[in-house]
Structure formats: structure tokens, C-alpha cells
Structure 1
Amino acid sequence: MDFSLSDEQKLVVETARKVGERFDPTYWRQKDAAKEYPHECWQAICDAGLAGAMLPEEFGGSGLGMVEVALIIEELCAAGSGSTLAQIFMLNPIFGGVAISRYGSPEMKREWLPKLCTGELKFCMGLTEPDAGSNALEVRSVARADGNGWRLDGQKIWITGVPQADKMLVVARTTPLDKSPKKTFGLSLFMIDVNRQGLTHNSIDKLGTNTLPSSSVFFDNVRIDPEELIGTADQGWGQLLDVLNTERIVTTAGLTGTSRLSIKLAVEYANNRKVFGDKAIGSYQAIQFPLSQGWAEMEAARNLNLKAAWLCDQGLPFGSESNAAKLIASQAASGLAEQAMQVMGGMGYSKEMHAERLWRDARLFRFAPISEEMILNYIAMSNLGLPRSY
């Protein structure tokens, strides 16, 4: 068992570190305050060849694996952004790249993947609905046959990055639930233009991740052309899981980066802050122990996530590892960001210290993209052999 990085992986990590350092916590604080999409940062990531790390070389990517992607995301997020930057990787290399590279037509791959790698095309994904959150099989948006294409009606909610996206991966039923032989049959995936007649979206006001807007999306008789189908009609459930499984690894990598950044900010403050005499508060066990506990949890999540990424690259099952890593990472990141605020006392409540933004953003991932409770349900059934509880 070899935990060392190859020379190529070290180079990838160093490249990501240098890009990340160009966009420090102050950049992200300003973007957060203005609720602006980090266009400059994402373009720099694309220009460095990092956005296409796991995409095929023939379409402008680097042909690397999920291990390298996890390392890239962690390094970028640790430099200043925290967890929110990982979401942009979900939108583009995962929702766009994985879906197209694995299930898209040859024309889609030739036309769209190179533009994804260069940053010319941005993506989002329309999955969650008001009555279909964790239970994606309850999706009610319907794409009914219309000539050689479809007409889409329905609603999505909490869809990330819609205003900036050119394309949306939409999950809809092409066979309604009441006519499907089983719930997993009848779902289809489509890659459609965001700027299309009948598609509208409204912004949702929220606590954090302000650099990436969340929207309610409405489909009113939206035309879908036959060449916009991803994969096979009615067989989208397995394809969807294939896309979503890698999302866990991306999420955890971003949370690990958040944990690293939170520890760094807390330690820097604790080593310089003196309250009672000449001793820095970092010498107190009340400061040391919570940060040390968080570091241990962060490392556990990181190693489990890299194992999940390695299993993914080998074509082996990795659901248990990726879910457990995300569970630990989300708790560690949220806890460490809050602990950094606690170390800083009143200053931790100030936006200039950055910790409060890290906490606001990391808190989302205690229940997204999959909640702690659903992960524990999964572990109970898949790893412990306990009966289904829901």
C-alpha cells in the first residue's frame, strides 16, 4: 500500500496550489460580499488545464483520474475559497464532463468537452424538485414525446449556477411514474440550453455560498431536440447514479480544503494573540484540543476519500468509502470553521477574519448533496446488513 504521490501528482498539486494562491481569502470575501460568480478564478483553473484533468485527452483534457481531481480540489479550496469552489467542479467536470464523456454522443463530446476544458462552456444540473430531494426517484418533471423530440414541463429547486450556465443537465421522466413497471425505469437525462423558450429561473436568498447562486427553475413546454438526449431514454437512473457517485468525492475534497484553511487561520491567530500575560492563547489546551481533534477527523476523511477516488479509478465499488468520507468531512469542516471563530473570539464574528464565511459555506454540506441521515441509512443497510428504515 503506497501513500506517496507520483511525480505527476506532485506537479498537479503544485499547479493547483499556485493557482489557488492567486485567489486568496480576501478575493473570496469580496466575491461573497458582492454575491459575484468567481469568473476570474474559474478561468485561471481552466487556463492551467485543471478543469479538464479527468476528461479524455482527445477532447482537451488530461486523461487523469479521480485521485488527481480530489488532490486538485483540496489544494485550491485550502488556498482561500473553502468548500464553495468544489461546487464549480461539480457543475462542470462532473455534471457536464462525466455525463457527456460517458454517455454523450460523439458529436456532444467533440463539440462540448473542449469548450468545457477551456471555460467557454459552463454547466449546471436540474435534479432536485420541491417534492423530490433525497429521493430522486420521485422526480415529477415530465418530458413527453413530441415528434422526434420531447416537450418538458415541471419545476426544479436549489439548482446551483443557473445564471452563469450555458447548458443544463436535466433529469425528467419520459415514462410517468404511474405507467412505469418500476420506479427506476422511465427517467431520462437531457443536456439542454439554459437560454431557451419556456425555461425561467428565480434566485433563492440563502445563508452562504453566495458566489454561486441557487435558483428555482421552471419548465413550461420546453422543446428538447432528439440530439440532446444523454444516454438511453428511460434508462437514466443508472446513468444518473454514475454521475452523482463522483460528486461525493468532489464534495469531500472541498471540505478537506476548508478544514485545512480553518486550522491555518485559527493557528495563526492563536500563535499571535496574547490575553493574559506574555503567553499566546495557542499554548492553552482549551485551544489546542478542539483543533487537534478536528485535524484527526480531517485526515481520516481525506484518506478515506482518496481511497474512494482510487477505487473509482480502478472501476471498483466505492459508494461506502465516498459516503463515509463525506460524512466525516462535512462534520469536521463545519466544526473546524466554527472552532476557528471560537478561537478568535469576537473577531471571529467579523467578516475580515474569513472564518465566518468558511462556516456559512461548509454548513451546507452537512445536508447536501446528501444528508448525514441518508448516509447513515446507506451505511446501516450496505455495510452493517441492517433492514431498510425508510
Structure 2
Amino acid sequence: MSGLIQDTDEHQAIRDSVGAITKRYGQEYFLERSRAGGDIDELWRELGDAGLLGVHLPEEYGGGGGGMAEAVVVVEELSAHGLPMLIWVISPAICGSILAAHADHEMKQKWLPGMADGTKKMAFGLTEPDAGSNSHNLKTTARRDGDGWLISGQKYYISAIDQADALLVITRDADLSGERSALSIFVVPTDAPGLTMQEIPTAIVSSDKQFTVFLDDVRVGPDALVGEAGRGLQQVFSGLNPERILVGAICGGIGRFAVEKASAYARDRKVWNTPIGAHQGLSHPLAESHIAVEVSRLATRHAAELADSDSPAVGEASNIAKFAASEAALKALDQAIQTHGGNGLSKEYGLSELWFVTRLMRTAPVSREMVLNFVAQTSLGLPRSY
């Protein structure tokens, strides 16, 4: 199905490479592993071997030397084949981008090549039970202990930490407590003494499970600090804007998947010898869904281009792309399920099991309400509501 996005030759090659790999595995592989609580290690490693996990990371550290524009193509195409992979957004995108921008050479050398080839994964620890994603209200603290730090606190809804080698954790710097925004970022191995995790049961069908993470006086050395102590608030945005952009890409792919599935079904399914797609009651909602999905894809690509050019407008564009794409994808998926009738709830068609992960994207990584707050206050200059 044609769309508004016109790929460069390089982007088309990336898209074709992703498509060839995902077709060998298929959506059913992804769903079966997810239902069983299993992993998708074979697919992950193959994506890494093909250079599709580190397309945006620096070449000197094993990446492809591209940017968010290339990452968007990979993540969207995975989702367009029915494989929305949260871990791609978390490990190479959020964590990889923060390390690439702010870590020293030794830390980059230790982690980035493994992220790029699929042999290492990193989880991201920002959200807390009482603070949500409000970084100004974090309670997890890091305090000096000799030449290192002791980290204590709790993180909530941390994706895929059971698969990860380390947690990139955002902390309040106890030694700079007089400064409201004094945050520090650390890489904490997941086998560090004092770090424990507890799974959060959810309705999401995904190989990437959710966890509460407890840090009880976890000691890290000086080599665990990312960048400069107390500068974490500025540093973390190197990962948050890519996160929003790539959630837009996930949703753009899911939207494409849903519209294409529904359109094929509406062309083939006949009632009283007439394809159901001939009826405007179905064709118009699908056309409207296609329009919304394509507009969101354009917004996501634009946000990626702004990120790659270090534009100051990237924050606004990333939030708008995430909002537009998550709304469009959920509407498209709902319409696709409706077009299939009862079959929309059948596992055979692979639609209903995408519902909860798509619905999650209206809430995570930032809720639609917080995006509206941002746009109202930043874009429109309206008074702050909080």
C-alpha cells in the first residue's frame, strides 16, 4: 500500500532489510513468544548482525553512523510487520543515545558496540511510583561513598530489565540537594548487590515485560557515572526526545499494519456477493484512518530530521509526533478490528493482541495529557497548569 513517505535509496534499503528478516520470523513467532513469556533472542541477534539495532549510533563504536531518521525506518517497519519492539526504543535508542552524547570514551566502548550488535541490552530507569515521569520529584538518590556512590530508591514500570545487562538509572544527587534539578545518571549492572526486581502483571502481549525495581544501597564506582554529576536533567533529554520519536514510529507501523490488514479483508470479504469494502460505512473510516496514520508518519519523520540537525524545535516536534501517531494508531487498530467483525478478535488475524501495546502508547512514555500541557504552555504560551 502506497503512502506519503518517499524513502531515499538508503532508507528503502533499510526498510527492505527489516522486511526480509521479519518475514522469515512472522508475527506469529512474536506473538507465540510473547504469550508464553519467552524471548525473541534469535530475531534480536539477527537484527544486530544486520546492523539494524545501531543504525543511529556512532560508527567508531560499532554503529551505522546514521541518526533518528534511520532509526525511525527500522522501528516503524518492524511494527508494520506486527512486531512492535519496545526494547529497541529502550536499549539502543534511549540508553544508546544518552551514552553516545554524554558518556566518556571508556563507557561508550564498553556498551555501545554490544548495543549495536545485539549482544548487550540496557534498561532505562526514570519512572517512579510517586513521581511518574516527573524528574523534579524523583526520590531515588545517589550519595557519595568514598570514590563511588550508594544508590537507593524504587523505579516503576521498567521495561525488559529481566533481559538487560544494566540499568541506566536517573537519580537525585543527594550531595547537591540544594539544587532542584540536580540529577545524576548511572549505569548499574543488573546483577549488582542490592538491585532486585518484581514483575508487574499486565494485559500487554509483548516479550518485553514490566517491572518494579528496588535499589537498596547499590554501590557503584566512579566509572558508573554518565557525564557530569548533577547534570542529569540536561543529559536525559538526549534520550527522551528519541524515545518520543520512536514511539511515533512504533505507532506509525502499527497504524500501517492495521489499515493494510483491514483493507485486504474488506476487498476480499463478501456479503451478499458484494465486497464489504464497497460500503462507505467501512471504506470511509478506513480512508480516514489511513489519512491520520500518514500524517502522523510525516510528523514523526519531521521530528527525526529536527533531532538529527540538533534543532531547538525538536522537543515540540517529538511530542506532537508521539501524540499524533498514538492517537492515529489506536483509531486505525480499532477500525481494523471492527472491519473484521468477530474475526477481529481471533488470534488468527493478529489484531486484537496489538490493542494493549497500542493503548499503552497513549500513556507512555509521556501521557497525552502531559503532551497537551507541553503544547499549551510551550507552543501556545498559555499559563502553566501545574
Q: Same fold (TM over 0.5)?
A: yes
Indicate conservation of the 8 Å contact 2:95/2:239, yes or no: no
Unaligned ranges ≥5, structure 2: none
Aligned to 1:94: 93
- Deviations 1:206-227 (CA, angstroms, capped at 9, x unpaired): 0114311100000111111110
Q: Give the aligned residue type for 1:313.
A: D
Counterpart in 1 of 2:308?
Answer: 313
One-letter code aligned to 2:333: A
1:370-385 alignment runs, 5 A limit:
370-385=366-381
The reply to whether residue 159 of structure 1 matches residue 134 of structure 2 is no
**Helix, strand or coil: the match of 1:163?**
helix
* From 354, 359, 362, the counterpart of 1:363: 359
Contact preservation (8 Å) 1:36, 1:210: no
Corresponding residue of 1:121: 120
User: Is the CA contact 1:20–1:77 (under 8 Å) kept in the aligned structure 2?
Assistant: no
Moved more, 161-170 or 113-122: 113-122
Q: Is the 8 A contact 1:36 1:212 kept in 2?
A: no
Aligned ranges for residues 337-356 of structure 1 at < 5 Å?
Answer: 337-356=333-352
Residues 19 and 76 in structure 1, CA contact (< 8 A), matched pair in contact too: no
Q: How big is the shift at 1:236?
A: 0.5
Q: Is the partner of 1:168 in helix, strand or coil?
A: strand
Cα displacement string for residues 236-261 of structure 1 (whole angstroms, at most 9, x for unaligned residues): 10001221111111110010000010
Specify the alignment match of 1:180 in structure 2.
178
Partner of 1:79: 81
Q: How does 1:176-325 map to 2 (within 5 A)?
A: 179-181=177-179, 183-184=180-181, 186-275=182-271, 277-317=272-312, 318-325=314-321
> Partner of 1:41 in structure 2?
43
Distance 2:175 2:80 in 1: 44
SS of aligned partner of 1:366? coil
Identity %: 38
Conserved? CA contact 2:5–2:297, under 8 Å: no
Whether 1:104 and 2:103 are equivalent positions in the alignment is yes
- Distance in 2 (alpha carbons) for counterparts of 1:296 and 1:116: 35
CA deviations 1:135-182 (Å, max 9, x no partner) are 1211101111100001111111100001100011001111378x323x
Question: How far apart in 2 are the matches of 1:35 and 1:353?
Answer: 20
Deviations 1:58-106 (A, max 9, x none): 111110111111112111210121xx31x12222212331121111111
| 1:360-386 alpha-carbon deviations (Å, 9 max, x no partner) | 210000110011111111111111111
Deviation at 1:202, TM superposition (A): 0.5
Moved more, 304-313 or 23-32: 23-32
Maintained 8 Å contact 1:122/1:167: yes
Instruction: Kindly provide the amino acid, as one letter, of the partner of residue 91 in structure 1.
Output: I
Contact 1:267 1:282 in 2 (8 A): yes
Q: Secondary structure of the residue that 1:203 maps to in structure 2?
A: strand
Name the TM-score, length of structure 2 as normaliser: 0.96
SS of residue paired to 1:207 = coil
Residues 343, 3 of structure 1: alpha-carbon distance in 2 compared, 3 angstrom cutoff:
closer
The one-letter code sitting in structure 2 at the alignment partner of 1:352 is E
Provide the alpha-carbon RMSD of the alignment. 1.5
Q: Distance in 2 between matches of 1:21 and 1:10?
A: 16
Deviation at 1:4, TM superposition (A): 4.4
Amino acid at match of 2:28: T
Distance 1:209 1:126 in 2: 21
**In the superposition, relative to structure 1, how do residues 3 and 296 fare at CA in structure 2: closer, same or farther (>3 Å)?**
closer
